[in-house]
Structure 1
Amino acid sequence: MAAGLNWAALPSVLVVDILSHLSHEDRLKATSTCKRWRNYLFHPSLWKKMHFELCASTRQKTRFLVDRCGRFVREVVIKFNSHSVSDVREASRILSVLEDNKSLQCFTLLPSSCHIEWPDTQFPHIIDRFLDSIETIVRNSRKLQHISLGCVEELLEHSNVLIDLLGRRHAHTLKSLHISTVKEDTENYGLFQVDSRYFQRFMSLKHLSIDFDFLTNNLLESFIDKRKAQLEKLVIHVHGFNSEQEKVTNETWRILKNHSPKLEVTMNFIHSEEGVASMLHILQPSLPLTHFRQFFCTRINTAAINYMKTHYRESLKSVYIMDGLIDGNPNLYYSHTEEDPFVMLAWQCKKLQDLTIVGYEMTDEDVIAISRLRGRDLKSFNMPLCCIVSVDEEEQTVLVGPEYLGEDFIQKVSENMSWDWYPLEDEMLPHAVFYDDADAETAYMKILLNDQTW
């Protein structure tokens, strides 16, 4: 080695390369050895991705890192409490620093809520500041590949402006776009215009999440082009159902699936009793449904569940249903057939790996039947203990409570699953399952935001 044993004299390219192979802790130790190595600690190539989890205890550290790296980091995740004034203000500050970052490629917001609360009258226009910063980031970055707005409804007020800007600036680089929202009041919300023609510009888009309100034939047809990348992931948030809305035809889904054979569709019904009731108007045989979820929709559409087991037996991988109990008792769902629809779903859907049903009554025999039919294929099977009942066929009565379940009930399910299975205890469930006034967002925001990660 030309430098002999003088590590401080190593060429800069070698120092940076050495540091790139170290963990964050070891990198700090190595750069504390001398001033020259310490200068390379914040080399742009060593800080390609930064995850900011905002809280009071890390605020000083976060501000330091933002000031040092915010103008060259390539991937940024901002996780914050959207009900905390200090967190919201700090998130806005980070966005303002990122405005000057021309190297930014991936940008993700992970708020705790679908609404950003801002009671501070001193700065009344915080949403406008968020929007201005996001638009400036889009305008200044050179090769944006991923953007997620964290399901925040207020940030989509100028969705046309944002999508138009993305199409003009990043048509050939954008691969992942998440502009779906969460609306807690599904009976009364405003619709923002999304012009489907703007999507025709995107040449590389593979992942998209969007509200069902904006899903049209024209929008999906914009991805049916041999010159463009194939769509791989489509997440649809259903809040309401408007019978006058243009219906996406089965022919459009068929052509899209032929063009994008790897496409997986996730449908999330959120606080949408109307949407669940209208599921048979939404689903189409050629829709490649992979993941189905419904959160606090107050009912199960068993006809739609039967439809799924008929048409999605080759695509459906997971079903997640969560609702609140009624006066401490599980809800009932009614089937027009003798067989339980979820037992039939487990039997027919060959790729089903995850099944969660919370808030609805299911008999111990049906739980055992599902475990027997799906067996080792199920990676997760979640049923609350408080929702599993036993039926006394002789006296035609339903017995509620763990004391009425057979002593070998859990053992039978575990043997069928080939792993130790246990029903969910009450303390493992979100508070919204038991209390009407509890915040339901804590039950689903993490799941929905996980759809939008890069």
Structure 2
Amino acid sequence: MLQLNRMKRSRTKCHSFTPSEGRSKKQRVALPVYVPALSNPSQRSTEETWGNLPHHVVLHIFQYLSLVDRARASSVCRRWNEVFHIPDLWRRFEFELNQPATSYLRSTHPDLIQQIIKRHAQHLQYVSFKVDSCTESAEAACNILSQLVNCTIKTLGLISTARPSFMDVSQSHFVSALTVVFVNSKSLSSIKIDDTPVDDPSLKVLVANNSDTLKLLKMSSCPHVSPAGILCVADQCHGLRELALNYHLLSDELLLALSSEKHVHLEHLRIDVVSENPGQTQFHTIKKSSWDALIRHSPQVNIVMYFFLYEEEFEPFFCEETPVTHLYFGRAVSKEMLGRIGLNCPRLVELVVCANGLEPLDEELIRIAERCKSLTAIGLGECEVTCSGFMAFVKMCGGRLSQLSIMEEVLIPDNTYNIEQIHSEVSKQLGRIWFPDMMPTW
């Protein structure tokens, strides 16, 4: 197999080639790719040198080219144009849809989109749509989806690079377009449709056509899906290994469905706990027996929870033992809540606290170190910990802390340690050089 780094050692930049169809000099095609130097260019024609390269060699070169360069290279000769349309080059494709007035990124050319729909829809397997913040871009993505009637897609991702523009599209338009893929693909294994207006009926269509193949479903922030809709997926898609959803869709029934004998072992469960307005959302409690059933069935599962709540909304959480492995707090969390984590989260592997307040967290951190024997990563933002308390925490965790990210402003010097001493003492405990993070000055 050719390697591009080897080609770069002896290469000549090819500025133009004359295709075999006998074009004039004005019609020569500029090809911005690097190719090896010819041993005797005067004795060989471009057709003989490049047109006769084996298909698999040209195909390998094409795989390293950007989409634009690949399209230009396809005009060199008929043989290269044939390689350009080999199905292997069209298994994976990312449609980029941006509006010139609001984005500096270029969109996939409309002519190329139509060529893909006409000639390569049946070859697409790993497809993503990346749209900017404009509704027009999301609508264009839906228009393309609705034309993929002869597809065999395995992976589908709908990505909003800025704000969730798919939410601005008519729900009927979005659901209709998505249903086309759900009905025609028959072998979908991975679907990422966060921040979209997908609904329960479209999920039922997904299940009816892809229940045997679906392994990953990410659908956080999908307000039109109910607990019954996601339960339908868990009940029928017994091969589901990864699931991401909002907390309001989580239920005891869902956890029990994921724990049934027919269901494979769940590997990753991500739960987003989000509140936009304090006091407006009522959060329910999941029974300990439901969590226990999930862990008995899938003992290695990673349970990841992202919290974006206000302090007064944490009451329903971690009152009993909870098998969470990764915890991220995007807003301030109380001292009491961190104390609960130390008591009731024995499987904790990673903890990130964005902010806490002005009360030192020494006791809470030491309790977490004592009871969370699997903890390997911790990050503290706007919090306070005495240097002695921090050292006690590090000594208890020892070298298993692979990630330790603490802002220098978090550490409060005391009679035992100052900031300079903390650096050397923590480095000794970890067995590697460690420094506290510093706030940028700009």
Instruction: Provide TM-score, normalisation by structure 1.
Output: 0.71
Q: 1:311-326 alignment to 2 at 5 Å?
A: 311-313=344-346, 315-323=347-355
| 1:274-313 deviations in Å (ceiling 9; x for gaps) | 44233234xx43x4311111112x323x444344334443
Cα 1:410–1:126 change in 2 (3 A) is farther
In 2, Cα distance between equivalents of 1:69 and 1:33: 20
- Is residue 276 from structure 1 mapped to residue 310 from structure 2 by the alignment? no
- Equivalent position of 2:438 in the other structure: 425
Match status 1:106 vs 2:150: no
Answer whether contact 1:376 1:418 (CA < 8 A) is retained: yes
C-alpha displacement of 1:145: 0.8
- For structure 1, which segment, 109-118 or 204-213, has the greater mean C-alpha deviation from structure 2 after superposition? 109-118
Q: RMSD of the TM alignment (CA)?
A: 3.7
Q: Deviations over 1:86-109 (max 9, x none)?
A: 644554455445x33521111112
Query: d(CA) in 2 for partners of 1:53 and 1:350?
Result: 45
Aligned partner of 1:135 among 179, 185, 193: 179
Contact 1:239 1:272 in 2 (8 A): no
Instruction: Report if the CA contact (8 A) 2:398-2:430 is conserved.
Output: yes
1:28-47 correspondence runs (5 A): 28=70, 34-47=77-90
* 1:193 alignment counterpart: 226
CA change 1:262–1:371 in 2 (3 A) is same
Task: Give the equivalent residue in structure 1 for 2:3.
Answer: none
CA distance in 1, matches of 2:273, 2:86: 44
- Does the CA contact (< 8 Å) of 1:114 and 1:181 recur in 2? no
Work out which of the residue numbers 205, 215, 218 in structure 2 matches 1:178.
218
Deviation at 1:242, TM superposition (A): 9.6
Which residue is 1:341 aligned to?
364
Cα pair distance change 1:128/1:243, threshold 3 Å? closer
Give the 3-state SS of the residue equivalent to 1:277 in structure 2: coil
Alpha-carbon separation, structure 1, partners of 2:323 and 2:291: 8
Is 1:305 matched up with 2:342?
Answer: no
Match of 1:263 in 2: 301
Q: Give the aligned partner of residue 357 of structure 2.
A: 331
Match of 2:65 among 25, 28, 33: 25
Q: Does the 8 Å CA contact 2:96/2:108 hold for their aligned counterparts?
A: no
Q: Which residue of 1 aligns with 2:124?
A: 73
What amino acid is aligned across from residue 79 of structure 2 in structure 1?
A: R
Per the alignment, residue 426 of structure 2 pairs with 413
Distance 1:65 1:261 in 2: 47
The 2-side partners of 1:129 and 1:264 are apart by: 35
By relative contact order (CA 8 Å, sep 6+), the higher-ranking structure is 1
Distance 1:204 1:106 in 2: 15
1:101 and 1:140 in contact (8 A); partners too = yes
* Counterparts of 2:394 and 2:441, CA distance in 1: 21
Change (3 A) 1:276 1:245: closer
1:418–1:78 distance in 2 versus 1, CA, 3 Å: farther
Quick one: which of 291, 296, 310 aligns to 2:326?
A: 291
1:87-106 matched pairs, under 5 angstroms: 87-97=137-147, 99-106=148-155
State the alpha-carbon separation in 2 of the partners of residues 90 and 420 from structure 1. Answer: 51
Change (3 A) 1:206 1:60: closer
Unaligned runs of 5+ in 1: 119-123, 183-189, 324-329, 394-403, 430-454
Determine helix, strand or coil for the equivalent of 2:165.
coil
**Cα distance in 2, alignment partners of residues 127 and 386 from structure 1:** 47
Q: Which residue of 1 aligns with 2:24?
A: none
Amino acid at match of 2:272: H
Kept in 2, the 8 Å contact 1:106–1:145? The answer is yes
Post-superposition offset of 1:316: 1.6
Give 1:384's aligned amino acid. Answer: M
Q: Deviations along 1:323-350, whole A, 9 cap, x unmatched?
A: 4xxxxxx723466xxx521233234323
2:191 alignment counterpart: 147
**Number of residue pairs aligned between Structure 1 and Structure 2:** 379
Q: 1:381 to 1:233 in 2, by over 3 A?
A: same
Change (3 A) 1:370 1:23: farther
Is 1:214 matched up with 2:240? no
Alpha-carbon distance change, 62 to 345 in structure 1, aligned in 2, over 3 angstroms: farther
Q: Is the 8 A contact 2:124 2:151 kept in 1?
A: no
Flag the structure with larger Rg: 2
The DSSP-based 3-state class of the residue aligned with 1:237 is strand
Give the Cα separation in 2 of the matches to 1:420 and 1:78.
Answer: 42
Q: 2:240 aligns with which of 193, 201, 205?
A: 205
- Mapped contact 1:171–1:202 kept (Cα < 8 A): yes
Q: 1:239·1:275 contact (CA, 8 Å) conserved in 2?
A: no
Pick the aligned partner of 1:59 from 99, 106, 110: 106
- The residue aligned with 2:200 is 160
Query: For the structure 1 residues 428 and 319, does the alpha-carbon distance in structure 2 shift closer, same or farther, using more than 3 Å as the test?
Result: farther
1:419 to 1:78, Cα distance in 2 relative to 1, 3 A? farther
Whether the 8 Å CA contact 2:126–2:154 is kept in 1: the answer is yes
> How far did residue 213 of structure 1 move?
1.3
Distance 1:81-1:61 versus aligned 2 partners, 3 A rule: closer
Unaligned runs of 5+ in 2: 1-47
* In structure 2, C-alpha distance between the alignment counterparts of 1:172 and 1:199, rounded to whole Å: 12
Matched, 1:235 2:248: no
Distance of 1:212 and 1:248 partners within structure 2: 10
CA apart distance, 1:383 = 1.9
Separation of aligned partners in 2, 1:128 and 1:255:
38
Using the TM superposition, name which of 266-275 and 349-358 deviates more.
266-275
Residue 265 of structure 1: CA displacement? Answer: 0.8
1:24–1:268: structure 2 CA closer, same or farther, 3 Å change rule? same
| Distance change >3 Å, CA 309–CA 132, structure 1 → 2 | same
Deviation string 1:228-275 (CA, Å, 9 cap, x unpaired) is 322111111223599987643222222222222222211111234344
Q: In 2, are the aligned partners of 1:236 and 1:266 still within 8 Å (CA)?
A: yes
For 2:81, the aligned partner's letter is: R
Q: Distance in 1 between matches of 2:426 and 2:314?
A: 30
